[in-house]
Amino acid sequence: MISVKDSALYDNVLKEFNYDYGNVFVFDGYVISEIKQGITFTWDHHAKQIVEDVTSFLDTDGNDIVYISHRIYSYAVKPNDWLNFFKHSYSLKGYGVVGYTQGSVLNTVIENLFFHKKIKRFNSLEAAVQWATDKALAEVEN
């Protein structure tokens, strides 16, 4: 489990946002986040800023974007904050989580209670990126 910065994917990054709580990498059709160890990720302190930055950069409401949470570090998510995301009229084409621990699996199950679509889980970043790329291609071909 290596960071996007240390992978071959980094060559394809369109924009990188660096925050004191993590990094977000924007690609063509998908976004990958890596949140730092020990953070309790909330709408007001973290997600709102990321969403505003990414949607502004891409000029979208997110409905054409796949979001991949690359959980290389252990952190907590306030799952009911997904309600704020939808309340502000944001959307996603898909949401994937790459997790390497049992805690990551449990967090995803709880998050799925508040997320309007199915959260797809992966054991590797490569598999998640392939899924995100396939979703983007499927839209282009239709």
Residue 18's domain is classified under what CATH number? 3.30.750.24
Q: What domain count does the chain have?
A: 1
Q: Which domain holds residue 135?
A: 4-141
Q: Does 141 score more than 80 pLDDT?
A: no
What letter represents residue 9's amino acid?
A: L
CB 15 within 8 A of CB 24: no
pTM of the predicted structure, to 2 decimals: 0.85
Q: Please answer whether residues 17 and 26 qualify as being in contact, where contact means their C-beta atoms are separated by less than 8 angstroms.
A: yes
Over residues 23-37, mean pLDDT:
96
- Average confidence (pLDDT) over 42-51: 91
107 falls in which pLDDT band (50, 70, 90)?
Answer: low
